[in-house]
Amino acid sequence: MSTTFKFAVFIGLLITNTFQVSFSSVISTGDFNKDFSATWSPSHVYTTSDGRTRSLKLDQESGSGFASNQMFLFGQIDMQIKLVPGHSAGTVLAFYLSSDQPKRDEIDFEFLGNVSGQPYILQTNVYADGNDDREERIYLWFDPTKNFHTYSVLWNLHQIVFMVDRIPIRLYRNHADKGVAYPRWQPMSIKASLWNGDSWATRGGKDKIDWSKGPFIASFRNHKIDACPWNGNPRFCRAESSTNWWNKERFSTLTSTQRRWFKWVRLHHMIYDYCQDNKRFQNNLPKECSLPKY
């Protein structure tokens, strides 16, 4: 067992309980048939008889997708996912929150398929008031096709934290007071989709989908929605209360242990950061790139 792996396990155990709080705001049933509906190609969406596990299929006929039956404004969303195994080049599995407005807000996990034997790339992105161009990419430090792993978003008035197995891999801070757009008014639904992205997903589109390797299947289970359901009035979701635990001061930034882990991920696994792409932005990086993350 490598030193890096031992360190990962140790730190993972330390932070596993970081966001374990009162379950008073948990509104998910754990049943995909009750919490979500198929939104794209229902014939390619498969759910176990007990409703606890759901799979999406991509073939030459169609991709597939599902979305939550409710919309939310702030909270924490957890989903266990097992990614497409084998030669998955050109496929994209997206797990994300989206407001579906003309100037939409969106918080994205996108898993970019790979050639067999190559590490999986996880791309994250944030849309705010319809603007994106905030991509970051990391190599996952494990094989995400062998077992289920937990992918989470903590979204509150202070920050958006992307997590993998409770480990923070990305932060997007609320700097709205400094003129940086931040998702804070539009409720979002929880979505997942599996689709053909071979025009760009793997090596910039050089590796296309090999349909002979299909069908391509990704699986989901053990979802937890600990969030504020939208009732038309943002005041209820923006308030600090025992139910809206995510808005409390202790969740306004990372702990010292989380910061060490966050820095470890960025040092050893990050392969693209839009805030370092001066060529793309012609030496005029987005404003948030010069502002604190914590």
* Residues with a known catalytic role: 106, 110
In this structure, how many other beta carbons lie within 10 angstroms of the beta carbon of residue 275?
14
Contacts 24+ apart (CB under 8 A), 285-292: 286/133, 286/134, 286/180, 287/175, 287/178, 287/179, 287/180, 288/172, 288/173, 288/175, 288/180, 291/173, 291/175, 291/178, 291/180, 292/173
- Rounded Cα distance, 50 and 22, in Å: 26
